[in-house]
Structure 1
Amino acid sequence: MVILTIIVNCIFMTYPSNKTPGGNVTETVFTAIYTVEFLVKITARGFVLTEFTYLRDPWNWLDCGVIAIAYLTMVIKTLGNLSALRTFRVLRALKTVAVVPGLKTIVGALLVAVVRLRDVMILTSFVLSIFALIGMQLYMGNLRNHCVRKWPENSTNEEYSEYVDNKEL
């Protein structure tokens, strides 16, 4: 049931926020569902004191953080428009990792690989930056306006706007 909720939530997140069916009600409903799941897990396992409690599992840290960010965006939305925090809604899709055991293994292996490849990624980004700077110096201004047709001197602004709007001249 939790996976189905996450999938439906991901489908609703693909809609633009002002065109979502039901407006912001869907976001509130999914946040409430995740909160109920959070409270049920805490009731069943405890919060932090014993060995197998809720916060002893790092994947539950992610769930707790997603819920906290959801409530934070709701509070900030009432204070003003700070849409940058809405990008953190994407983290809700990562809740599937905590639900499917096979995904935990795969993501854990990926995280270990990324940590081991850290030096390689730093070296690669350094080399790419050097070649990007060389390319900028070599081609500086040479390719500007080469794919744009030059307009005759006697053309009007209306003809130009028709061309830009893909209308016939």
Structure 2
Amino acid sequence: GLICEANSYLRNGWNVLDGSLVIISIIDLATMHRGIVTSSHVESETATRIFSMLRVFRLLRTLRPLRVISRAPGLKLVVQTLLSSLRPIGHIVVICCTFFIIFGILGVQLFKGKFYYCEGPSARNITTRQQCETTSDHRWKNQQYNFDNLGQALLTLFVLSSRDGWVQIMYNGIDAVDIDMQPIKNYNEAKLVYFISFLLLVSFFVLNMFVGVVVENFHICRAEQEREEKARHTAKQVKKLERKRRRTREVPYYAHFSPWRRRLHNLCNSKYFDLIIAAAIGLNVITMSLEFYLMPPALGMTLDYCNYVFTSVFIIEIISKIIALGPFRYFKDKWNRLDSVIVVLSIAGIVLEKMNNGHILPINPTLIRAMRVLRIARGSRNFL
């Protein structure tokens, strides 16, 4: 159903996303078609304005790649993790802002107006702002990151939390003397406690809580996804067992076979028959690997006869299975179709190779012989 039933289409958020993107695409195509039609016809001003507004939906075409998310379990897990983490992340943001404001107000009280310094050739001899401004070639400047007001303090603390250039900001605070006073190296080392406390509480603790929340929700979402996959797998197994039980109650399709055909059917479906064919494929691969450049003609002739023998074995296998199972049931299996194609190509390769020996066809013999390599693919069905 669309919305009424428990498992209806619109009750799944991913289906809502897919449906919305499809509707947007339809609107986009409609506006494009309308634009083509109206390019040669005069329409009213109202209709033109309406379709101009609808053309805004063309910008939403960039959201089409989001449809991949609903079809990729890994991407869906990441998106679900981020969405489920929004609420706890919001709580951490509040805590983080609280710490920033507290340390920002404290920083303004401790360092407002104290990050100024005198810049000039003889700044070491300057102690006050007045001396700096009255001395030529000297300027009274402020540090880029300071605590003169709460806004500047929050910006400075943000740089501190990123741990990018925080050492220089810390030394500027330690060197600060007073308002309109030239900084002195390591003047008040006790202010180191302010910066270290902020780094420990905010940078190393609060900010890492973001990662912790995302990781925790990732594990929760993955466990939920695994439960859903397990439930789907269980339901699939139940349906499979139910189909198998119904088949056991039905009369076997080979019940009306004649005795000799039933014996042939049992032979073709036995594990010993599969082992014999697998051994033939393995021996065929070995004989193909014995070919080399400038090999003796006798060896080449022997390998050709081996190729004829193995091809005959595979032809007998296919004919036996077609008789035992019937053409429809035989070709219904994809592996049987693959076997048939490979055997037909092998026969065609032998025929074309013989024709090419008489220079009847302008075909490279190497390409014809390479077709036999496809027999190796027949052995892959025993491992899949």
Which TM-score band applies after superposition, normalised by the shorter structure?
0.3 to 0.5
Q: Which has the higher contact order (CA 8 A, sep 6+)?
A: 1
| TM-score, normalization by structure 2 | 0.23
Decide which structure has greater helix share: 2
| TM-score, normalization by structure 1 | 0.46
